Amino acid sequence: MTNKKVENKYADYALKLKIDCKNCSGLCCVSLYCTKTDGFPANKEAGIPCAHLGSDYGCSIHSKLGEKNYKGCIAYDCFGAGQRATQLCLISGTWKTNPKQAETIFQTFMIVFQLHQMLWYLVEAFELTSDNKLKTTIDELIQENEQIAELLPENDLKTDLSAYRLKVNTVLKQISSTISTNTSAGRHSDRMYLGKNFKKANLDGNDFSMSLMIAANFTGCSLKKTNFLGADIRDANVKDTDLSESIFLTQMQINSAIGNKNTRLPDNLSRPAAWF
């Protein structure tokens, strides 16, 4: 599926940032710390395989995740970090067949996840701005992102993404401020919209970045250029809703929301199976 927002300079990134479990080895099911209260099968320490991770590195209960209400598993998306970390760390085999490298592989995965998440936003930001100065800055940040990744896993222990993340966040805020045309209407100072009923509201240009919008109702809303950067939309109702022109949405956000076959998505996102 081609993303219109990245069909030019960064077209190849659409696939690079897509999850590809077949070329991974269940890294998310091993390296992550999980809790049952967050919708995972059980409490699990980082570095310990999930009890449901099969010998083929697939989930043995994948078809029953919805039935068992494992929302954490359903929502999770690694932005392609799984296959990238595997490529960076191993010539052949997996963490299981290379046990001495397992810890390094898991650490690399966690770093690459953060890099790819920021890369996802930068690629979209590049296409959202016409400011050449900002485009140049984004170009430089994307190149820096790639350089950091290519130095892994050797530099795992030396990699501190704090300074880089600050630069990325600064650019994303600049982009958001130029796009959002309705930053004050309906804005809660604490960005809390738990269960808020927006049904059929015109939310074009609203900046909901970093807002808590669990179980909010967006049915029938107009959401052109509506900014959802980092917003928590778990269990938000987006049935019969057009999100195709909303900005800074991720697959993880979509996976955690409640939509249907009539929900329209940006071209770089996939429709969850449960929505059909």
Tens digit of pLDDT for each residue in 60-72?
A: 999 999 999 999 9
Q: What proportions of the chain, in percent to the nearest 5, are helix, strand and coil?
A: 40, 5, 50
pLDDT digits (tens, 9 = 90+) for 142-190: 999 999 999 999 998 889 999 999 999 999 999 999 988 765 545 566 7
Total count of residues recorded for the chain: 276
Would you state the pLDDT for residue 2?
A: 43
* Cα dihedral value 142, 113, 5, 15, nearest 10: 100
Reported as a pLDDT band with limits 50, 70 and 90, residue 20 is very high
Our CA angle for 45, 51, 54, nearest 5°, is 125
First to last CA, the chain: 18
Angle at 226 between CA 224 and CA 228, to 5 degrees: 140
Domains of the chain: 4-27+78-179 (no CATH), 182-276 (2.160.20.80)
Q: What is the pTM of this model?
A: 0.92
Tokens of 7: 């069909």
